[in-house]
């Protein structure tokens, strides 16, 4: 009897160890909810207060995009101090690698938009305390490489105005996964969600 209990105990311990070694993914208890979108922190130090996520770190949205080959819009509202940045990562792996990266970086009163570390556009002059809202279309289904369109403002008005920029990633590069998320560098984010692409062409 004692031997049986010992054997069972060993089995349970080994199973627990193996299960814990199987994944370094976040548990559901660490989820950061942001207006209906659930994010799982991957690295850094992110906190949530009154529905606003702030800090420095990387987080992946729990619900993936439709497909690797898909086109979506992402609507985000954020604040970044001078020298801070926010990076939107789309069509990436579940650890946000090998995706499309659109980075917003503040240099005093200007917020520069970068794709693959190259400046492609900028926001109108804004103060550090302003909350910026942007709508970003990412078409990861085009043969010329991912097509990215960035509008100032929300998704409801994005289709009616010219985008701030609309680059293709160079050398035909496309994101390799179906997950998306954000990388914050001293930033605060109050909204981040996705939907069907605004630009249908």
Q: Which of residues 106-125 bind other proteins (CB under 8 A)?
A: none
Give CA–CA dist 73/182, Å, rounded. Answer: 14
* Per-residue contact flags (x/-) with other proteins for residues 147 to 186, judged by CB under 8 A: x-----------------------xxxx-xxxx-------
Choose between 64 and 154: whose C-beta lies nearer to other proteins. Answer: 64
# binding residues, other proteins (CB under 8 A): 36
How many CB atoms lie under 10 A from the CB of residue 100? 25
Confirm or reject binding of residue 100 to other proteins (CB under 8 A): no
Quick one: which of 37, 56, 98, 126 contacts other proteins (CB under 8 A)? 98
- Interface with other proteins (CB under 8 A), residue from 68, 120, 165, 191: 68
- How many other β-carbons are positioned within 10 Å of the β-carbon of residue 135? 23
Q: Which of 115, 17, 24 is nearest to 9 (CA)?
A: 17
What is the three-class DSSP state of 49?
strand
**59, 46 in Cβ contact below 8 A?**
yes
Nearer to other proteins, 79 or 147 (CB): 147
Q: Is 62 in the site for other proteins (CB under 8 A)?
A: yes
How far is the CA of 118 from the CAs of 5, 26, 29, 121, 195, in angstroms? Answer: 63, 32, 37, 9, 26
Residues of this chain that interact with other proteins (CB under 8 A) are: 23, 25-28, 40, 60-64, 66-69, 93-94, 97-98, 139, 141-145, 147, 171-174, 176-179, 196, 201
């Amino acid at each position: 009897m004692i031997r049986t209990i010992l054997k069972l105990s060993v089995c349970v311990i080994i199973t627990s160890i193996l299960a814990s070694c199987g994944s370094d993914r976040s548990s559901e208890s660490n989820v950061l909810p942001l207006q209906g979108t659930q994010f799982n922190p991957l690295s850094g130090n992110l906190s949530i207060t009154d529905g606003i996520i702030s800090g420095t770190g990387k987080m992946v949205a729990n619900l993936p995009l439709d497909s690797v080959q898909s086109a979506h819009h992402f609507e985000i509202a954020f604040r970044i101090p001078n020298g801070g940045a926010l990076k939107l990562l789309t069509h990436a792996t579940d650890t946000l690698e090998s995706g499309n990266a659109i980075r917003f970086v503040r240099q005093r009163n200007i917020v520069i938009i970068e794709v693959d570390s190259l400046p492609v556009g900028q926001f109108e002059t804004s103060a550090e305390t302003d909350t910026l809202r942007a709508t970003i279309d990412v078409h990861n289904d085009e043969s010329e490489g991912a097509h990215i369109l960035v509008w100032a403002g929300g998704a409801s008005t994005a289709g009616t105005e010219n985008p701030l920029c609309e680059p293709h990633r160079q050398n035909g590069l496309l994101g390799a996964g179906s997950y998306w998320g954000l990388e914050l560098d001293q930033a605060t984010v109050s909204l981040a969600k996705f939907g069907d692409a605004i630009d249908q062409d």
